[in-house]
Structures are given as C-alpha cells and as structure tokens.
Amino acid sequence: MSSLKTHVLVVGAGPGGYVAAIRAGQLGLKTVLVDVDRLGGTCLIRGCIPSKALIHAAEQFETVRRAAAGNPLGISVATPPVLDMAQTIRWKDEIVDKLSGGVGGLLRRAKVDVVPGWASFSDARTCVVQGEGEPVTITAEHVILATGSTPVQLTNLPFGGDVISSTEALDLAQLPKRLAVVGAGYIGLELGLAFTKLGCDVTVIEAKDRILPQYDAALSRPVAKALTRAGIALHLNTVAQGYAHGALVLRDKDGAITSAAADKVLITIGRRPCTEGFGLERMAVNLAGPFIKVDDRCATSMRGVWAIGDVVGEPMLAHKASAQGEMVAEVIAGKRRRFEPAAIPAVCFTDPEIVTVGLQPDAVGEGAQVATFPLSASGRALSMESDGDEGFIRVVAGGDHRILGFAAVGRNVSELSGEMTALIEMGAVLEDVGALIHAHPTLSEGIGEASLRALGHAIHV
C-alpha cells in the first residue's frame, strides 16, 4: 500500500469539490482530490447538465412536432418528426463527456492530484482510497468533505427494475410509452414536462395539495396550467402505495384506491446527504439532523475538517457548493472569508421557468412593497410566444426601498437570475433599479418596470 501526504484533501469531485480543489491549487496548496465517480459529480454527470440537455432536446422536438400541424408563425413541415431516443442520449453524453474532460484539464492546470477510488477514513485526516489499483493511504492537514447527495427512495417503491430515479431517467435509450412521476417538485416536473414533449403519456402524483410546494402559489400557478395544457394527468393529495404489472397503486386523502398505468415509475421525492460509507463516524464531526454541522466558514466541529455543498444542508444547489468550495480553499490559505451571501438564486427549469432570489412576500413583514410586471406587457415575451403562460416579474422591497428579493415565472426567465442577484448583493434600492437603462427588447426590462411599479409610476403597465 502506497502513502501520500498533502496539505488539502478534497473528497468528492462535484461542483463543490472540484472548485475547492482548483482554488486550493491556484493558491499554491498541495491538493489531492478523491472521487470514486467521474469528475463533475452529480450535477455534471447525472443531474443539472444532462437534464437541461434533455429538456432542450424535448423543446426542439415539440417545436418541430407542432410545425407539422401548422402554427401562427407560418412555419410547417411536411411530415411529423421521428425521435431517435438513443441518438438523443448519445448527444447528451457527448456534452457530459466534454465538460467532465474540461474539469480534468482545469485540475491539471491547477496542479491538483486526482486519485480515483472510494475514500474510507480511519480518523479525521487519514483515509485509505481503494480504486482499481493499489490502495493509497492519504494523510492531510485539511480535509474538505464534498460528498454531495443522493435520491431518496420510497420504502414501498425501492429503486430497481422499472422503478427509477432521475439518474436512470436521463439514460433511457428507449422512450417509455407511459411514465408515472412520484413527486411534483422541481426535478419531477422538469423531467415530467420534458418526457411529455418527447411523446410520453405522463402522470404526476403529489402527496401535498399543489405542485412545487417550495414556491408560493402565484409562481406555481402558471406551471400548473402548463401541465394541463400539455395533457399531463395530475393527482394531488395522493400517495403511491406500490407498483406491479404495469400499474401504480394510488391512495388519495380520503382513502380511495385507484391506479395509474405506467411502464416506468420515476421517484422524485427529494435528495438526502451522502454521509455514510466513508467513515464519517470516525471523524468526530457533529451533525445537524442528517447534515454535517458547519459554521459560517464551513468548518466542522473537528479542527481541520470542512464540509460544503449538499452534505451541509439546504439549499442543495451546485452554485452554492461552488461558492463554498472556493471560500474554504481561501480560508485554508489564510484569507479572511465568511459564507454570508445576501441571496442565492434558485431556478426551476420547467416550461414556464421559475426563478427566485432573496426574500419572497411570505417572508417579509408589514411595510414591505411587492410589485409585479406581467410579461404579457413585454415585447420580448410576446415575440417569443410566451404571452400565454401568465408569466410575470416580481420585486420585493423593504420600507426603505431596499431590494429584498426578486422572482419571475415565464419562458427563459432563468437568464434574469444574474442581474437579480447582483442587485440584491450590491444593496440596490428601487430608485436604483428604476433608473437603470435596460436593453430593448429584453425580458430584463421587466425588472426595471416592476421596480417602477413599486414606486408608483410604471411606464408600460
């Protein structure tokens, strides 16, 4: 067994881990990165990137399919399109391969040593990595745990066979005729809408009384209407009890039992942190529920052990993990840093999309100002045929006019998240935003218009 000593050991090569390793390498720290999987982690390999690729392919296919029936734009095709799902998956995999290879190149440029394999810790800063070759013992001065999260399964619907997680859903080389999605959160609805556009008959089952319960009703309502327009069967206040012989057994809040035909059952009820199997119990770190407990520098209760990303709690977002990884590397290098963002943007890539940044109306007190700008009054939205999705841009400000939060629902509104976040982080007030000159015609004009409306003198609504 060979041994290796390093200043920084990063466990997990997802968007938190590889960013931490790259930044540590840039700062001149001897750094080792360990992961049993490919570089890029869940987000790049089987999450954010492949799902957005599949969503894009689904949108393209639906566009052509609609053109076969004619449309108001005057575009038509002679025959309906045919989907080669295996080719779609190959295209998606090419994107993943390119990006994963790019991460490898960035790590090499930062002089980070990558050790493939599974790390098992004997104490807080010593582990054995078992890969395809000889085991390697690694001792580090600092350990950064970036082990991520994994899909939650139901006890009565364990993963296997035709019961799948989002991981398997993104690798289906053959399109199922009927797909049941258990869980109407953002993952379930993103994939449910995508598979509907690809030609599946989709049924969505949600235990709560509405879809996207993490968002307020105003934001989720346009998406609910889009599900109806798409022909998706939606069962609210309903739980899935079992699956056999192509039928998913359902029970509603009154106890009535029904069933839904399904060739595949996609479980999307949430994710849990990966804290088992690598010896966390031998590292003497405290937990906060299922998560690793950290302070505002992402330091654990054990000196020299840090944790970032999904494993430390909500929000489970790749960009949060990356920001924490960069910060921890700089703290280890001696810089004074704290993780104290004013806002972390979150996006739901349904159709229409949802973006939220900062505080929302239900989290602010009296005296706050809330105003919306309907995208039906946006020239850019109309030119993209998105006037029918009832979209809007919303601003929330305090009594002092300081911007506290933004939200939007509509086609392509995810691209507004950068400006929204920057305005909150920089402490903008309504007058600042209203005075900005936004390019015309763009959706970003709605950010200014919503702010002007909060001030009582919107121009275009």
Query: For 119-139, what is the mean pLDDT?
Result: 95
Whether residue 70 is predicted with pLDDT greater than 90 in this model: the reply is no
255 φψ region: left (φ > 0), alpha (ψ -120 to 50), beta (else): left
pLDDT value for 309:
98
User: Tokens at residue 215, please?
Assistant: 């968002």
CATH number, span 163-269: 3.50.50.60
pLDDT, tens only, 132-151: 889 999 999 999 999 999 99
* Residue 25 identity: G
Any idea where the domains of the chain sit in the sequence? 2-53+86-151+272-332, 163-269, 346-455
Domain formed by 346-455, architecture: 2-Layer Sandwich (3.30)
On the question of pLDDT at 73 being above 90, the answer is no
| Range of weakest confidence among 10-24, 64-78, 108-122, 317-331 | 64-78
Asked whether the domain spanning 346-455 has the same topology as the one spanning 163-269, the reply is no
Active site residue 460: no
pLDDT for 365: 80
Q: Is the pLDDT of residue 185 over 70?
A: yes
Cβ(443)–Cβ(415) below 8 Å: yes
pTM of the model: 0.94
For residue 362, the tally of other CB atoms under 10 A from its CB is: 8
User: Which band of pLDDT confidence, cut at 50, 70 and 90, is reported for residue 71?
Assistant: confident
Sole residue written with tokens 């944790």: 307
For 450, residues 6+ apart whose C-beta sits below 8 A from its C-beta are 371, 372, 373, 393, 394, 395, 458
> Per the residue annotation, which of 438, 440, 457, 460 is the catalytic one?
440
Q: What is the mean pLDDT of residues 91-120?
A: 97
Residue 119: HSE in the Cβ half-sphere, 13 Å Cα cutoff: 32
DSSP per-residue codes, 249-260: EEEETT--EEEE
State phi, psi for 126 to the nearest 5 degrees: -135, 130
Q: For residue range 397-446, what is the model confidence (pLDDT) as tens digits?
A: 999 999 999 999 999 999 999 999 999 999 999 999 999 999 999 999 99
Q: How confident is the model at residue 385 (pLDDT cuts 50, 70, 90)?
A: confident
d(Cα 403, Cα 424) in Å, to the nearest integer? 6
Q: 289 pLDDT band (50/70/90 cuts)? A: very high
pLDDT at 47 over 70: yes
Q: In percent, how much of the chain has pLDDT > 90?
A: 93
* pLDDT confidence of residue 388: 64
CATH of domain 2-53+86-151+272-332: 3.50.50.60
How far is it, in rounded angstroms, from Cα 182 to Cα 205? 5
Where does 39-185 have alpha helices with state H? 41-46, 48-67, 85-109, 166-169
User: Which residues share a beta bridge with 142?
Assistant: 8
295: pLDDT confidence band, cut at 50, 70 and 90? very high
